[in-house]
Amino acid sequence: MTPPMYKRVHDVFVEAKLTDGQNIQFLAWIDDATDTSLAKSYIVFIPAGGSPIDNAISGDYYVIVDVVSAKGVSEYQKADDVVNSIIDFVKHHPIHPCLGQITNLGGIPTPTLTPEGRLVYRLMFACLYGD
């Protein structure tokens, strides 16, 4: 698949302006560990497996989207707003020619807190796609 599904999800989210104001990363969240990095928020697109990939039928491609807040309690609501915008977009636009059918798996999970005080939401999506 060219490009891979996690990059396709990225492209669709960028096109929908869901990533505006966020620092984008792929495969893993890497904090640059500088004082200014604490003011940065991130969205990370990660491949997450799926169903068997077959030449003749569609398959599920799983994609994780991590939304990582900037440091501080005042930043948590911004991350929550981004998460809800993403979920709302997917709910209202489940069919896309680049993704096939995109579905949120697991709803909005309980966010986790990093040691430096960032809030992290890990969203999971399944894209049913076949060429």
Number of other CB atoms surrounding residue 83 within 10 Å: 22
Domain CATH code at residue 41: 3.30.70.1700
pLDDT at 73: 84
State which residues form the domain around 60.
Answer: 5-129
Taking only the tens place, the pLDDT of each residue in 80-93 is: 999 999 999 999 99
pLDDT range class, residue 131, cuts 50, 70, 90: low
| Three-state DSSP state, 129 | strand
Q: How many structural domains compose the chain?
A: 1
